[in-house]
Amino acid sequence: MAGFGVANERLRALEELEREIGASLQSAGLVILELSKEKPQERHLDRQAAQFGAAVAKVEAELSAQIRYLTQVRPGE
């Protein structure tokens, strides 16, 4: 039954990853929205761009961790 605990943890990690992807897309959308304005506010752009970069870095790190895990696990374990 210990396998279910690991599987549940993996599912939770994937759900968090999904939330982070959503957050990165939202940040990107806000950057694009600000850029579409006639006079974009640089401070707002910088903040949204920083949030986007942080979200993308977190997604990249979690995807790498998931890939490492999957390459180490054999089917049936």
Domain ranges of the chain: 2-73
> 41 by DSSP, 3-state: which?
coil
Query: What is residue 27's predicted lDDT score, i.e. its pLDDT?
Result: 87
pTM: 0.74
State how far the Cα of 35 lies from the Cα of 51, in Å rounded to an integer: 16
pLDDT band at 77 (very low <50, low <70, confident <90, very high): low
What pLDDT is attached to residue 6? 79
Report the distance separating Cα 35 and Cα 31, nearest Å. 6
Per-residue pLDDT of 15-74, as tens digits, reads 999 999 998 899 899 889 989 999 999 998 899 889 889 989 999 999 999 888 888 876
Under the banding of pLDDT at 50, 70 and 90, the label for residue 3 is low
Q: What share of the chain is helix, strand, coil (3-state, %, to 5)?
A: 85, 0, 15
